[in-house]
Amino acid sequence: EARCRCLLGRPVPRPGGAHRGRLAGRGPSVPGNPAEQEHQGHHGRPTYTHDLRGAALALAGLGGAPAARAGLYHFANAGATSWYDFSVAIAALCRELGAGLRVARILPVTTAEFPRPAPPPGDSVLGTTLIEGVLGRPPRPRPAALSDYLASELTNTPARP
């Protein structure tokens, strides 16, 4: 079994009932299929929950700076991507890190081919301008966050603070 699976907003069930998954964003399903199909038409900004935690702590004033004014803040790692491109990046990094993937290739599918209970929003890429101004920095790029997440998962080491 490849250990590079993640879903938006909830942990991914693993064999034996264990749950893991600290990367928010829909990643590839990489079980034993020779070709997995991934949705290409929809874009988002996948977010490593470790980075989200750091932003939340900073907003709460637990990072040395004063607490931010109460409000609604959106946070996501920098760099919008399609789910297809995100899946391809995950598979490439897993291979680079030595994960034995059993998927030969990832095939893109269109929004129309991707069954959903409701139509997706036209644009689900979160804007982070407000939180960037409060934190004084942009979120780190998605590729760096993804690399840290996969390295942590594949080596069973905790994420860096």
pLDDT digits (tens, 9 = 90+) for 115-155: 778 877 767 788 999 999 999 999 999 999 999 999 988 88
Listed residue (60, 9, 46) closest to 139, CA to CA: 46
pLDDT of residue 66: 87
- Rounded distance, CA 128 to CA 75, Å? 6
**pTM of the full structure:** 0.70
- Rounded distance, CA 119 to CA 44, Å? 15
Identify the top-confidence range among 65-69, 100-104, 111-115.
65-69
Find residue 36's DSSP bridge partners: 106
For residue range 2-60, list pLDDT tens digits in order: 333 332 333 333 333 333 333 333 333 333 344 455 555 678 899 999 999 999 999 99
